[in-house]
Chain A
């Protein structure tokens, strides 16, 4: 394939190395229409980049299951007590 024809084929004007740096903008919906179309055409042609994007999505998905820390029990109990007393009859809150 010559340089000219490669440039003309949708999906071939962008390289894999460029694609991996654009995946976040792509997932965030921040690419302009022509770049997005070119990237999607590339993904359709390139199993490596397609796998990369799938893996990025899997990583994001998996991150949604990482355990998180919350307020201590005492702190939560304290807040509930404050809420209760604020709304108790005769308090400042009523």
Chain B
């Protein structure tokens, strides 16, 4: 990933690091460039668009580093203030969103240290990373003819969407939202950022100081639990109908 100094720090002449044989940094895409130009010119619709579009995921990222909702909100506001002041120094060597997230992550970490929360995600105890994600009883025994494959009863069956699909959708979303809150914190953060907010794995790793492998493990375990919640829900509604 290309490094770019955060807006709050004067940018060093990093271009000098690019020499012969070194691939040139990926330029921001044209849409990004236009957006940056509009922000520099004081286009309120452009600023309002990214504030409302990106703030929800920024609040989640901040939550990985600071301890209260109020602190999260302040960190996100500080980030946007830094963007307002620093957009002229953005050099377009990463995407605008990556740049904004880097500012956010730096501010959130600093804040986290001050609040003495400051337990980086990478060093949290791996309490929730072991063991199978699907009940072992659903698989055949080791001495079976088909060891470790689904038992007839254990095998997942396709979910039937109900006739009142929109009502079911509302209900499943509510259920998923509640189930997310029940996940261990790291799993919840990773699943929320990846699947609810649509961040890339690289963005999540950078924002939360996770290795790609750790990020995948947390994502896997979180998603598996949520799938199981939906499975119970669909099975229950089949029994009921």
List the interface of chain A (C-beta within 8 A of B): 15-18, 20-21, 23-25, 28, 30, 46-49, 51-52, 54-56, 58-60, 62-72, 75-76, 78-80, 82-84, 86-87, 93
Contacts and interface: CB of A to CB of B under 8 A. Distances in A.
Contacts of B73: 71-72, 75
* Contact residues on B (Cβ < 8 Å of other chain), bracket: 35 or more
B176 A93 contact: no
A15 B147 contact: yes
Given A59-B227, A83-B47, A16 B76 contact: no
A54 B158 contact: yes
A48 B27 CA distance: 45
A86 B133 CA distance: 51
A71 B76 contact: yes
Nearest to B139: A17
Contacts of B224: 20, 56
Contacts of B47: 79-80, 83
A51 B155 contact: yes
5 closest Cβ contacts across the A-B interface?
A87-B42, A48-B155, A24-B220, A15-B148, A63-B195
Contacts of B155: 16, 47-48, 51
Q: Is the interface of A mostly helix, strand, loop or mixed?
A: helix
B159 A58 contact: yes
A18 B148 contact: yes
Given A17-B149, A51-B156, A58-B230, A83 B42 contact: yes
B156 A52 contact: yes
A48 B230 CA distance: 16
Interface of B: 41-42, 44, 47-48, 51-52, 55-57, 59, 73, 76-77, 80-81, 84-85, 132-134, 136, 139, 147-150, 154-159, 169, 172-173, 176-177, 180, 191, 195-198, 201, 216, 219-220, 223-224, 226-227, 230-231
A43 B230 CA distance: 21
15 contacts: A15-B139, A17-B149, A21-B133, A21-B220, A46-B150, A48-B149, A56-B223, A63-B176, A64-B195, A66-B196, A67-B177, A70-B52, A79-B84, A82-B80, A83-B84
A56 B159 CA distance: 11
B132 A21 contact: yes
A80 B216 contact: no
Contacts of A72: 73
B121 to A, nearest CB: 18
A16 B149 contact: yes
Contacts of A15: 139, 147-149
A70 B191 CA distance: 18
Given A17-B132, A20-B134, A64-B196, A69 B81 contact: no
B27 to A, nearest CB: 25
Contacts of B231: 55
A93 B42 contact: yes
